[in-house]
Amino acid sequence: MIRTGFRWLLAIFYFIAGVAHLRSPVGFLAITPDWVPFPAEVVAFTGIAEILGAIGLLIPRTVIGWARPAAGIGLALYAVCVWPANFNHAFNNIPMGGVTASWWYHGPRLLAQPLIIWLALWAGEAINWPFRQRA
């Protein structure tokens, strides 16, 4: 029950974020590190990946048994891959929408990324850690 709630919450979050990446890429392009090739295409690809991952989280196991775990793994890998953009945003003090965020935003955001990675894996039923599976 709790896992289902978090799965839906994560799916909604990633779906909205994916749409934002596609509809308003300017802010995401601003925080993309300079070393990323083809930044506009990468931002668009990340938006598509978020939307597909969100949909994958909601596919019932009875329909496609591997979809949820694959979506969870994909979203976890996605979160690892975009973490450099979060660091770039924080350490280079890049404004988004004309607003520069403080460390009250950046600090918790950077620290939350491992939790987001774990949540994608757990909500997607790719892992059960740290919870024990009932016999």
pLDDT at 1: 84
Q: How far apart are CA 97 and CA 4, in angstroms?
A: 34
Domain count for the chain:
1
Give the model's pLDDT for residue 124. Answer: 95
Residue 133: per-residue pLDDT: 67
Domain containing 53 equals 2-123
Tell whether 108 is covered by a domain. Answer: yes
Q: Quick check: is 131 in a domain?
A: no
Helices (H), 24-128: 26-31, 39-57, 67-91, 103-123
Per-residue pLDDT of the chain (135 residues; tens, 9 = 90+): 899 999 999 999 999 999 999 999 999 999 999 999 999 999 999 999 999 999 999 998 888 889 999 999 999 999 999 999 999 999 999 998 788 989 999 999 999 999 999 999 999 999 988 887 665
Is residue 121 within 8 A of residue 3, CB to CB? The reply is no
Report how far apart, in Å, the C-alpha atoms of 64 and of each of 6, 59, 134 are.
20, 7, 23
d(CA 25, CA 117) in angstroms, rounded, equals: 23
pTM over 0.85: yes
